Amino acid sequence: MDINKHFPRALEDEAIYIIREVAAQFEKPVLLFSGGKDSITLVRLAQKAFYPGKIPFPLLHVDTGHNFPETIEFRDQLVAELGVELIVRTVEDSIKAGRVKEETGKYASRNALQTVTLLDAIEEFKFDACIGGARRDEEKARAKERIFSVRNDFGEWDAKKQRPELFDMLNGKIDIGENVRVFPISNWTELDVWNYIKDENVAIPSIYFAHKRMVFDRDGMIWSDSEFINKTEDEIPYETIVRFRTVGDMTCTAAVSSDADTIDTIIEEILEAEISERGARIDDKRSEAAMEKRKQQGYF
Amino acid sequence: MDILRIATAGSVDDGKSTLIGRLLFETQSITKDKIEALKAASQRKGLDFVDLSLLTDGLIAEREQGITIDVAHIYFNSPNRKYIIADTPGHFEYTRNMVTGASNASVSIILIDARNGVGEQTRRHFYISSLLEIKNVIVAVNKMDLVNYDQAVFEKIKSDFNEAATQARKPGQNISFIPLSSLYGENIVNVSEKMTWYQGESLLQLLESIPPISLEKENLPFRFPVQQVIRPKKDEFHDFRGYAGKIASGSISKGDMVTALPGNQISKVDKIYKFDTELESASQNESVVITLEDDIDISRGNMLVKVGEQPEFSKQLTAQVCWMDTNPMRAGSAYLLQHGINRVKTKVSQINSSLEISNFEEIANAEALKLNQIGVVSFRLAGPIFADKFEANPSNGAFILIDEFSNNTVGVGFML
């Protein structure tokens, strides 16, 4: 048995327990859905947690307007299948309302702007718990995140004031205006997620698999060509076979050159890969502590 | 495949982060871009080697001060199992984090700097490992390279540790000693050639030989705290009434007779579900939905146990408490007590004794229990909890205390 191709079932039991605690301890929980594999995994876990009942909370998608069209198509199909409520709030509206200002220049992205849209949505719907697909293995600041992570009135994270989490006991008590970010798959690694998707035969957006795409090269990474990215004159698009390892916004997710077109070949590829998952996230490269700073401001 | 959860503890500069970095590096758990980033960061700091400790020191303040502040979780796979390390800070003001990080661990690695030997921190770390009933303790004597890999240094630390550990030692606890150098990878994955006098295994070999925890817990009583009652009210499942929860300990099979606490109603297990799959039986840590043959009134916070295996429960209890808040606990103060998922109001009747963990000074009939102190405390409860003695059944024997004004988790209790 190759351990790297095997999903530890204890992780599913733990995640289901956490999701059930959210439904029991909070009045208005929501599941943050990006269309990426981690949030798709969360939806699957929620479906299992309440079966034969329905998922008792809505999904929230913060739409940057720069999503891959394949992701949106996938999202709408999944929602229809499960009969779960979907709420969409757009960065576009936040820009129009003057809540945020569009970035300019070569690296312009709406990735940082979505924090404001998310915090506004939390306030609008009075969500007291937001379930997210963050994992501790993704990044150094995330390695220190609790499973129930309390955010103040302004959505901010204070690493030094985290509640101790003992055994499996979760304390979700908060004051009005505060909210808790909940991370049921905290203890999963990227491989665990892929092995789970394989075991469970969960559908994922097509862009995770190798496909033909117009791309261009920048800073040693492959960028998907799109009208949302400001290219310089010498950045000339060409067609090649790529896939995406994470699915974020088109302006902050790099493609990898790959011909992995099944879950099995994707798992093989990850096992051999020399670049970590977040290494393909352009937004993390801005500084060594980029993630921690964004988290302090309320980013997921 | 099983998961082995490890807690690591050591004083500032014992080389704990380097040890973990080394384990990740040697098990090929670090990708190339992360190693490149490490090299660049090491160069910026003016080092002439790759500083593996930078892998885990995640927060800005930690990198500035070169210390670990909060519990970090780190993951790696060996050929046999998945490992989760809770890396906890060593300095005493963060003892609460050590208890937190170690609460889920079945192995505790205590680091000692070979040059400094057994200190107060070492005693504290061992005390907490024992308090949490951690069965496997590995004493890693690090930085052997700085004492010329001298056997005498190692043997001295070993006998000092055994002497210091006598009091807190638990029956059945396995304590192993390993001399190592994290910086040079000696005795981490392979047995070192620099310390031929050491006859034991390398750190990873030792970890690999620890049996899966599931094997140890087979004989515990069945404890099933009900998280939620699932009533779909769909046509297809019109009369469905299932109890969702994670089995805290023991196991259950179809047809077993169970008692629902606190009502003491008895019924028979009809079906056990995991999603749409029906199981014959299920055991500790599995999240399942159980249906019973009779319609009885059960709600969140109730517990299913096997008939004849009830825990004793009353509205009074005594527990060992580790205090984690800057506001001390005082006799007469009220808190919320959360046992598993079950919350009840509680009042402190008496603080029978307190132990200052920084110097092991014990006070009888203490007035207050302060941050990082451990005491024996009696409580009165507004309602019952269905707990076992921590020593007998750790996964159903602990609770947390919540301050109703700050909402913070302010303490953890271990049932006596």
Contact with chain A for residue B12, Cβ under 8 A: no
Q: Mean of the pLDDT values across residues B174-183?
A: 95
Cβ of A168 within 8 Å of Cβ of B75? The answer is no
Cβ of A163 within 8 Å of Cβ of B103? The answer is no
Q: Which chain B residue has its CA at the smallest distance from A6's CA?
A: B1
Q: Kindly report the pTM of this predicted structure.
A: 0.92
Domains of chain A: 8-201+289-296 (3.40.50.620), 207-284 (no CATH)
**The predicted structure's pLDDT at residue A274:** 61
Domain map (residue ranges) of chain B: 3-216, 223-306, 316-415
Q: How far is CA A83 from CA A130, A204, A290, B186, in A?
A: 20, 18, 37, 57
Q: B316-415, superfamily in CATH?
A: Translation factors (2.40.30.10)
Task: With H, G, I as helix, E, B as strand and everything else as coil, classify residue B114.
Answer: coil
**The predicted structure's pLDDT at residue B336:** 98
Residue the block writes with tokens 């990198």 = B63
Cα–Cα dist A170/A18, whole Å: 8
**The predicted structure's pLDDT at residue A292:** 59
Total count of residues recorded for chain B: 416
Mean pLDDT over the full length of chain B: 90
Q: Mean of the pLDDT values across residues B357-368?
A: 82
Chain B residues in contact with A159 by the CB 8 A cut-off are 59, 61, 69-70
Cα–Cα dist B229/B245, whole Å: 9
Distance from CA of A90 to the nearest CA of B (A): 31
Pick one of 1.10.3720.10, 3.30.2310.20, 3.40.50.300, 3.40.50.10440 as the CATH number of B3-216.
Answer: 3.40.50.300
pLDDT at B132 over 70: yes
Chain B residues in contact with A175 by the CB 8 A cut-off are 407
Q: Give me the percent of chain A exceeding a pLDDT of 70.
A: 90
Cα–Cα dist B192/A15, whole Å: 40
Six token digits for residue A231: 């290219």
**pLDDT, tens only, A38-75:** 999 999 999 999 999 999 999 999 998 888 899 999 99
Cross-chain CB nearest to A143 (options B60, B69, B73): B73
DSSP symbol at B275 = T
**pLDDT, tens only, A117-131:** 999 999 999 999 999
**pLDDT, tens only, B218-251:** 689 999 999 999 999 777 888 899 999 999 999 9
Task: With H, G, I as helix, E, B as strand and everything else as coil, classify residue A204.
Answer: coil
In which band, very low, low, confident or very high, does the pLDDT at B101 lie, cut at 50, 70 and 90? confident
B223-306 and B316-415 share one fold: yes
Cα–Cα dist A16/A10, whole Å: 10
**The predicted structure's pLDDT at residue B61:** 57
Q: Tell me if the bond preceding B262 is cis, omega within 30° of 0.
A: yes
Cα–Cα dist B200/B308, whole Å: 45
Q: B223-306, superfamily in CATH?
A: Translation factors (2.40.30.10)
pLDDT at A82 over 80: yes
pLDDT at A288 over 60: no
Q: Which chain B residue has its CA at the smallest distance from A15's CA?
A: B287
Q: Mean of the pLDDT values across residues B169-185?
A: 93
**The predicted structure's pLDDT at residue B276:** 94
- Mean pLDDT is lowest, of A60-64, A208-212, B43-47, B297-301, for B43-47
In which band, very low, low, confident or very high, does the pLDDT at A230 lie, cut at 50, 70 and 90? confident
**pLDDT, tens only, B300-344:** 999 999 999 999 888 899 999 999 999 999 999 999 999 999 999
ipTM for the whole complex = 0.93
**The predicted structure's pLDDT at residue B237:** 85
- More confidently predicted of B94 and A208: A208
Six token digits for residue A257: 């050159």
**The predicted structure's pLDDT at residue A4:** 81
- Mean pLDDT is lowest, of A166-170, A272-276, A286-290, B340-344, for A286-290
CB atoms closer than 10 angstroms to residue A297: 14
Task: With H, G, I as helix, E, B as strand and everything else as coil, classify residue B244.
Answer: strand
